[in-house]
Amino acid sequence: MNKTEREKHYKQKLEEMLSYERKLWESGIPYVAGIDEVGRGPLAGPVCAACVVLPKDFDVTGINDSKKLSEKKRNELYSIIVERALAYGIGLIDNKRVDSINILSATKEAMLIAISDAAMMLTARSQNARDAKIGHLLVDALKLPEANIPGTAVIKGEEKSVSIAAASIVAKVTRDRIMAEFDSIYPAYGFASNKGYGTEAHFAGLREHGICPIHRKTFVKL
């Protein structure tokens, strides 16, 4: 695939991934939020959710499920997304809370925080704050009635909705940076590379040193 063909492919993919948003925009809902999370499976660290509200003229190609992008590409797109988004928010729930309430409940809590943060940013940035309200949520796989905002659970949403894909990128880059910081504090587990997931190096660190303060006790099985 040459450069021209690749650009055509990316533009076509973007058009396909805008289908959910366009239907909602055309129905009279100007502010549509995409929500996704990362970190449900790791043995350590927080679960992180992001909420992103994109403008109707968003035309950035190459956005996809964050897991399918290189770290370099994720970081590039992260910078563009947070610059171009009408609003975005981050929700973090730490390992102790995950252990206390279970990972599904923690994921929903993180999402609700992210939505609240994005809503506040949207209002703060709008010239007409009264009308600047998120009107619909596009959530990867989960129903989120707790948000009290109409929403759609989109299975494999990171591949089907550009707003959800953008949220997945923001969430993953945010969490990866947090885990890199934890690696400098707890270097025995390889957090910078494994991000808290159960790799052999991570298990070797656990066997030698035991758990550290950011491990999820309900997840670690030695």
- 170-216 pLDDT per residue, tens: 999 999 999 999 999 999 999 999 999 999 999 999 999 999 999 99
Side-chain half-sphere CA neighbours of 67 within 13 A: 10
Separation between Cα atoms, residue 107 and residue 47, nearest integer Å = 6
- 84-122 pLDDT per residue, tens: 999 999 999 999 999 999 999 999 999 999 999 999 999
Domain count, the chain: 1
199 in a structural domain: no
- 146-166 pLDDT per residue, tens: 999 999 999 999 999 999 999
108 in a structural domain: yes
Residue ranges making up the domain that contains 18? 3-173
187 in a structural domain: no
16 in a structural domain: yes
Residue whose pair of structure tokens reads 């989120």 in the numeric block: 144
What is the reported pTM? Answer: 0.96
3-class state of residue 63 by DSSP:
coil
215 in a structural domain: no
User: The domain spanning residue 60 has which CATH number?
Assistant: 3.30.420.10
Beta bridge partners of 215: 44
164 in a structural domain: yes
- What b/e sequence results for 74-84 when a residue is b if at least 16 CB atoms lie within 10 Å of its CB, and e otherwise? beebbeebbeb
DSSP state for residue 151 in the 8-state scheme:
E
219 in a structural domain: no
3-class state of residue 28 by DSSP:
coil
How do strand 87-93 and strand 47-53 relate by DSSP bridges?
Answer: antiparallel
188 in a structural domain: no
